[in-house]
Amino acid sequence: MKSIQQFLLGVSAVSILVLLYAILQENLLLSRITAVLTALSFTIGMVCIPSLKNYQYTAWIITAVVAGMVYPAAFTHWGTIDLRNKWLILIIIQFVMFGMGIQMSIHDFSGLASTGKGVAIGLLCHFSIMPFMGWLLTKIFDFEPEIAAGIILIGSCSSGLASNVMVYLAKANLVLSVVVTAMATLVAPFLTPLIMKLLAGTLIEIHFINMMMEIIKIVIVPISAALLHDYLKMASPQGKKNVNVLLFISLIWLLALPFGLWHWFESSSLSSEVLQSLEVFSFLLAAIVVGVLYHQGAKLFPKLDKIMPYISMFGIIYFTTVTTAAGRENLMKVGFLLFISSVIHNASGYFFGYWLSRLFGLDKNSSRTIAFEVGLQNGGMASGLAGGMGKLGTVGLPAAVFSPWMNISGSILANYWRKKSVENEE
């Protein structure tokens, strides 16, 4: 395997020379082929370079962006299948969130009692600094309304599990990080639509209830399924019986939906809000079914839990590629400004997250943790919401640009703080 990786690293070196030649000769066909070949071969081969192997996932994201830019038509439709279809995007995002949820546990929430002050500071900073910085950047750079709304959207989303990884690498307060991520995820269905309504309501039409329901479907439902799997690992016999009762009720409900139950709801003159609530209720019941089935599968295949994060990574690469392809024309116009915005937005999160935490009296390790929790957003959630709006190529575009930079900057900062531990400073 290592010899193949070394060979591909050599291929990337040759192909980049060919790419430069093709650009100078204005050979569009050769430029496209070698651009993708360079990105792909280097991404696979870079693990041979010890200092770069931790950035391979980020390199896959960049490769996805290159492929979407160079061959947009290949990543918007496959035959009659629209890869931007909101239901397809929703299912993939749910897989991503489920894979992330597998890395969480019910025990994570037990740290709330010992980290209450830090959690409150983290949530306050996260849901104030990042949305406001996003809004400020839209005023400075004067983006068109839907792209501007996308910048505010990614700033208004909860933190993702990437922050937990960076905190672990930095040897900061991991317990605090996990609890802040969990709590930010739980409050996102209420705070994200509220912030979007306040800051982006004049840019695009924001339906508070619709967005809240979408976030529940995108984030809460798959994570609930993952936490049910975690609960079943240690559940008492009575607890398992209770889950089986819920499973039976869920199956009856879900099986009845396509055989007239949903049609009866629609023909009963119910309001759209009630229908949305019933839809989300059905998704939550489906989470019970998925959680139980996955738990049974994990008992048969013990390595399944370790595979799920890779499925999450594949899902993120998928919607990054599709988003880039869908928004290629917009990215050609404002790609550089979006990148500059991502750098400023991300750096502001680290800076204000750290120093405001210090101002509020947190120790250095906890302040470093809050810096990551504030600076790193859940790009998958932003993409899913944009897909639900049918605006993946505009509202979803900032998430495709911001996510790779967040991974790069987070890794750099984590490794820097790891080498400069608090104990050494003191």
269-295 pLDDT per residue, tens = 888 878 888 888 999 999 999 999 999
Percent of the chain with pLDDT over 70: 97
Q: How far apart are CA 60 and CA 100, in angstroms?
A: 18
Q: In this structure, are residues 285 and 257 in contact, taking their beta carbons and an 8 Å threshold?
A: no
Give the pLDDT mean for 381-398. 84
Share of the chain above pLDDT 90, in %: 24
Place of tokens 């969990």: 182
| Rounded distance between C-alpha atoms, residue 130 and residue 61, angstroms | 23
Q: Is the pLDDT of residue 114 over 70?
A: no
Cβ(68)–Cβ(321) below 8 Å: yes
**Max avg pLDDT among 93-102, 192-201, 378-387:** 192-201
Residue 400: count other Cβ atoms within 10 Å of its Cβ. 32
Q: What is the pLDDT of residue 95?
A: 86
Per-position DSSP letters for 264-304, written without gaps between them: HHHTTT--HHHHHHHHHHHHHHHHHHHHHHHHHHHHHSTTH
Distance CA 24, CA 108 (A): 55
Q: Give the per-residue pLDDT at 108.
A: 66
Residue 425 has pLDDT above 70, yes or no: no
Residue partners of 252: CB distance under 8 A and separation at least 6? none
pLDDT per residue as tens digits for the range 119-149: 899 999 999 999 999 999 999 998 899 999 9
Given this model, what pLDDT does residue 426 score? 41
Q: What is the mean pLDDT of the chain?
A: 85
Query: What pLDDT, on the 0 to 100 scale, is given for residue 294?
Result: 93
Q: Using the predicted structure, report yes or no on whether residue 112 has a pLDDT greater than 80.
A: no
- Checking if the pLDDT of 13 tops 90, the result is no
pLDDT at res. 79: 77
* pLDDT at 113 (0 to 100): 61
What confidence category does residue 374 fall into, taking pLDDT thresholds of 50, 70 and 90? very high
pLDDT (mean) for 405-422? 82
- Greater model confidence, 371 or 390: 371
Which helix H or strand E contains 322, and what residues bound it?
helix 304-326
Separation in Å, CA 157 to CA 47, 328, 374, 378, 396: 32, 24, 10, 6, 13
- Phi-psi domain of 171 (left: phi exceeds 0; alpha: psi -120 through 50; beta: other): left
pLDDT at 424 over 50: no
Cα angle: 220, vertex 223, 224; to 5 degrees? 80
How far CA 200 is from CA of 205, 206, 383, in Å, comes to 8, 8, 16
**CA neighbor of 406 nearest in space, from 360, 341, 361:** 341
The residue whose two tokens read 């997250």 is 353
Strand partners, 77: 82
pTM of the predicted model, to two decimals?
Answer: 0.83
Kindly tell me the sign of the dihedral angle through the C-alpha atoms of 64, 66, 71, 76: positive
Per-residue confidence (pLDDT) for residue 109, from 0 to 100: 67
Cα 121 to its chain centre, rounded Å, is 22
